[in-house]
Amino acid sequence: MLSFWNSSHKNIVAIVSLTALVGVVYYPAIDGTLLWDDWQYTVGNPFLGSWEGLLQIWKAPHTGGLPYFPLTFSTFWLEHYLWGGNLWFDHILSILLHIGNAFLVIKVLQKLRLQGGWWVAALFALHPVHAESVAWVSERSNVLSTFFYLLTLHCYLRFLQDFRWKSYWMAQGFFLLALFAKPATCMLPVILILLTHYLQKRLSIKILLPVLPFFIFALIVGLLTIHAESQMGINQVVELDFTVVQHFFLANHIFLFYLSKLLFPYPLMAAYPLWELELGTWNTFWPVLVNFGLIAALSMLWWKNYGRAAYAFLYFGVSLFPVLGFFNTSIFTKTYVADHFQYLPSLGIFVLIVQTGMWAIEKGGLHKTIGQWVGVSVLLVLGFLSWDRSFVFRSGELLWQDAIAKEPTLFTPYRMLGNIYLQHGKYQMAVEQLSQAIKNKGDGEYPEAYFDRGSAYTLLQQHEQAIADFTQLIQWNENDYKAYSNRGVIYLNTKQYAAAIADFTKVIELAPNPAKSYHGRGTAYFQLGSYQQAVEDYTKSIEFYPDPQWQVIYARGKSYWRLKQYEQALVDFTRANQLNSEFGEIMESRGLLYIKEFHDPTKGCLDLKQACQLRYCQGYHLVQSQKVCR
């Protein structure tokens, strides 16, 4: 009975306590709203809601402009299918996956014959640096890929113990799922070699051969992802004009940054400053000295048979390798680091911390009770910080205001906050935030902020400022058809029709679907009296739109009327009215057409009376004064 209590009951207490702690810590985030790219991933995802969409998610490349994380997006698809666009379930699943990952950490450490698994799992579950991965819906790829990553480790380590092929095939299957959830798990084959060496203290061809298929899977899925995302124009490699030496210094700085955030998790932000990499300066050189010191210390520990510390650090470094700055990616134009990048790598440091604490108790003279209370205190502090951090992820406004409060010199948070204000109709506040973003960015291009500010100026009807912003965008990129389109709309609204035609013509040359620009240019031609050109543009617009647009059809009908092509005008007015019977102007135009051109007062007066019921009475009153309608 005592044995049962010491095993099963202790396990139950451990499971319940850790689950409860994680639930309390992340409870504030459950009611969180959409953040940053959440809309694109969830409610705005064109693939959710249909079986065809599910197939498109796995197609490479697909047409949705989303990262190639097919398994991750399949979970969003399933949630949408079961519960619609309720973000509550998205948050709950991410939290449950995080809890599952914590318990899988315990199982993996048991296979590695390491004690203190619960403490490592608790550090992993409660550390605030992971709040970004758990509380941010878009980071589902992190918690999901880690779930299958840890299952892969567990099965492969079991294979190393009993050499049962079932465990081996399961490990391969779970690794494929991890890769399809997030290809950044591609470093796992190297980790398998590292852990194999840790357990067997040697490597041979026979030992390494089973890892070979994992390298092949990683290579195939990696190349597939690169192909898919390059075709879709996302996560592109960018030129940062860094030398090899600068990449080396950047990697050292990034490594120490992540290590410091695990040891001292404050401040944590959704974006961090871009560091200056000026060769010859102390700020650039000191991380290299610290890292060489760490390497020397680890070498000494290895030599003195304290190799666990070296393995833990190697796991941390190998897992971080894809995000250490050796490869230029688009995110490096905004920040070199992000909290969610070390969701998996952090396990190495957590193992090192717990093993150090256990060594202090067993051989360093630290009393066990004191050590346990220190551990509990650390967990409570980390849990409180995570609980406090999870509040920030309740809304985009809170998220970016938090970053600005901690580092006012950043530019991305101001731009994101300005975009939120723009979407919420707070246009003047949007202009203020976006202007600050541009100011903080300093020299260099910042097209996203200029585009958003130009849009806000447009909605404020500050046309000169809006034109200036869109013109700046065009100067940076003469193929920016969105800037041409927005500037063309302003020219059209301010009756600068020739300029509007020029901009819409440019959009028609550049845009993949110029339906709106054909519509806009047709309207400009109409206002200039070029009715035949207007008809041609409206017709093109109708051809490009996937669904019939009553506004364009109605506008073409008015152009036909000016060209005295009355039958075509009547057809368009009738079709437009079928698409939107609540817009009285269409009925009014058709009624006047019947009376003036077809000399049919019966049908005309009926249309005009119906138009008047929809508050378009000018035409009805006109014909009444002429005693046409009674």
489: tokens are: 């709309």
CA distance 125 to 113: 21
Question: With b meaning 16 or more CB within 10 Å and e meaning fewer, what string describes 523-562?
Answer: bbbbeeebbebbbbbbebbbebbeeebbbbbbbbbbbbbe
CB distance 525 to 501 below 8 Å: yes
44: tokens are: 């705005």
Task: Give tens-digit pLDDT for 380-412.
Answer: 999 999 999 999 999 999 999 999 999 999 999
Average confidence score pLDDT of the chain: 88
> What's 236's DSSP letter?
-
- What is the pLDDT at residue 379? 94
Most confident among 33-37, 225-229, 268-272, 273-277 (mean pLDDT): 268-272
CB distance 628 to 605 below 8 Å: yes
CA distance 616 to 245: 72
- What is the pLDDT at residue 235? 52
Average the pLDDT over each of 34-43, 340-349, 439-448, 520-529 and give the range with the smallest value: 34-43
Closest Cα to residue 344, out of 176, 178, 225?
A: 178
DSSP string, 150-201: HHHHHHHHHHHHH--HHHHHHHHHHHHHHHHH-GGGGGHHHHHHHHHHHHHS
- What is the pLDDT at residue 426? 96
Which of residues 248 and 65 earns the better pLDDT score? 248
600: tokens are: 């049919």
Residue at token pair 């005295």: 564
> What's 336's DSSP letter?
S
CA distance 146 to 139: 11
Banded pLDDT at 1 (limits 50, 70, 90):
very low
* Neighbour tally for 360: CB within 10 Å: 15
Distance of CA 366 to the CA centre of its chain: 46
CA distance 87 to 76: 10
- What is the pLDDT at residue 265? 94
Q: What is the mean pLDDT of residues 576-587?
A: 93
- What is the pLDDT at residue 564? 95
Torsional class of 445: left (φ above 0), alpha (ψ -120 to 50), beta (otherwise): beta
Q: What is the mean pLDDT of residues 98-118?
A: 93
- What is the pLDDT at residue 234? 54
Banded pLDDT at 228 (limits 50, 70, 90):
low
Task: Give tens-digit pLDDT for 478-491.
Answer: 999 999 999 999 99
Inform me whether the pLDDT recorded for 217 exceeds 70.
yes
Banded pLDDT at 417 (limits 50, 70, 90):
very high
